Structure 1
């Protein structure tokens, strides 16, 4: 209760964090209900008029009232594509972090609790994984999948594949953190008592030790969501992420990049601004959560 009350107390006193949480909640809500609030469906080809392509937003001369944020090079409404694109980016971000946490927590528990050869094997595997950048791993795996199954197959399962690719690239962050927590906890009295009464190792790890590692897991997850969204945007910009027919924030930025010189700056700038704001508020929330959940705050 002390940690929960301090968390709430800190939240009430920090206007900036409240504003960040409000912006993030509104962006998530808008993305979730995109099919109901978007002016048009960017996936429906019958609603796209190529004659309405590259129309500017409402504050620029030559705009069309039907498209408040203008249109892209294909004639799609920018507001609709941004709403749907944010939805895809958030799905990939949350899905990839869930996969990272699942793999990392299990490996971290096993490495810290069992020790010995299991610890050495899993941590060396994590070290190898960390020696490569996330983007490099994602590019290699994405290129192999496209070469093996074709671009059409990749496009059909792009969301699921990106979740797996980004998730597999970042699990060591969780594994190393959970392992450190397990090493600090497994020698305490409550763990010894659980062993004495004959509880199986699986129950001790997941029911007794894991709850004490939840605070750093929550902090890491907040930051990793932002990292996963950025990774998706980078892969889409490089042509290894979401296709243009299935807009994400990254693919929207990529689709408009070639039209900046022709004056259609909004095709790239608007989804880029949404991406920057989304990542910024998530990182600010993660920084605040890290400071509040710092164990040193509870020594007294």
Structure 2
């Protein structure tokens, strides 16, 4: 019988299967359920152009005569629009899928920007110390005193005054990524700095210095891989926060315009119709947002506990 050669990934896969991470994953049903729900929601959002019954951006597919149709299980609903329609006649299921795609893109893009800025400054502050550390920490204190809402108001006002509202609408996704990303980077910087301060006291850092390695190599090749655990945890937290921040800003009229569906703009567009009986326009996108953020937060809790085995007593 012919044997196929063992791939290089086999030892790593066997090591992962026997790790503490895999052990906790197999035992925690809630984490697996949240991962399944999150995978389905993210997959549906990413595949919106293929899964959505219609394109909410295409005016030719929108019929005003079909406005405010209820979901199919409510009297007056139709299976042509499973979750009903909004006040403009857009299919709610399609709008939610496309809106979730925008919200998730903003969330991940903003966290990527936060990580690039915060990790770099955190590594530099923790490794160099002294006046460099003091300067970076004062910058984080200043940034933390400026709320994301205030930053969004100022940035939106400046861009609209300089380039007009149409320009802001065309680049609203990029603007929100920049606003949320540049407002929340101190969370990464403080977390990374605290971890680096603990790592710099260990022998391998002193050995690297003795061997004459450059500061850049020590930070990127030695310190950064050893502080990945808190970075993964804070990234999960910040993704959920960024998605909620986008929804809050859009609901207040400072984020995505109503012509470009996001979860926040969908909730805002249907809020005026809530008391008139068209509850699904606001509540269904709101429920999607709650389930999405709750799944991320529960997975973050599991990840945080798994990365710190001392929390367990069994």
TM-score normalised by length of structure 2: 0.92
The structure 2 residue matched to 1:115, chosen from 129, 135, 158, is 129
Q: Kindly report which structure 2 residues correspond to 1:82-97, keeping only aligned pairs within 5 A, or say none.
A: 82-97=96-111
The structure 2 residue matched to 1:135, chosen from 140, 149, 170, is 149
Deviations 1:170-220 (A, max 9, x none): 100110111111111112211111112221100100110011110000000
Unaligned runs of 5+ in 1: none
* Residues in 2 aligned to 1:112 and 1:93: alpha-carbon distance in whole angstroms: 27
* Residues in 2 aligned to 1:295 and 1:265: alpha-carbon distance in whole angstroms: 45
* Residues in 1 aligned to 2:231 and 2:160: alpha-carbon distance in whole angstroms: 33
Instruction: Give the structure 2 partner of residue 44 of structure 1.
Output: 58
Please tell me the root mean square deviation across aligned C-alpha atoms, in Å. 1.7
* Residues in 1 aligned to 2:199 and 2:30: alpha-carbon distance in whole angstroms: 35
Higher radius of gyration, 1 or 2: 2
The structure 2 residue matched to 1:188, chosen from 189, 197, 202, is 202
The structure 1 residue matched to 2:265, chosen from 235, 240, 251, is 251
Q: Is the CA contact 2:70–2:85 (under 8 Å) kept in the aligned structure 1? A: yes
* Residues in 1 aligned to 2:217 and 2:94: alpha-carbon distance in whole angstroms: 48
Deviations 1:91-140 (A, max 9, x none): 01111111101100000011111111111111001011112333333333
Instruction: Give the structure 1 partner of residue 220 of structure 2.
Output: 206
* Residues in 2 aligned to 1:150 and 1:238: alpha-carbon distance in whole angstroms: 19
- Worse-matched range after superposition: 257-266 or 288-297: 288-297
Q: What displacement does 1:295 show?
A: 5.8
TM-score normalised by length of structure 1: 0.96
* Residues in 2 aligned to 1:138 and 1:279: alpha-carbon distance in whole angstroms: 22
Distance 1:96 1:202, change over 3 A: same
* Aligned-partner SS, 1:243: coil
Unaligned runs of 5+ in 2: 1-14
Runs of 4+ deviating beyond 4 Å: 1-4
Q: Is the CA contact 1:110–1:119 (under 8 Å) kept in the aligned structure 2? A: yes
Deviations 1:53-102 (A, max 9, x none): 11110011111221111100110000000000111110011111111011
Instruction: Give the structure 1 partner of residue 49 of structure 2.
Output: 35
The structure 1 residue matched to 2:31, chosen from 1, 7, 17, is 17
Aligned length: 299
* Residues in 1 aligned to 2:174 and 2:264: alpha-carbon distance in whole angstroms: 16
Q: Is the CA contact 1:142–1:165 (under 8 Å) kept in the aligned structure 2? A: no
Distance 1:4 1:82, change over 3 A: farther
Q: What displacement does 1:283 show?
A: 0.5
Instruction: Give the structure 1 partner of residue 185 of structure 2.
Output: 171
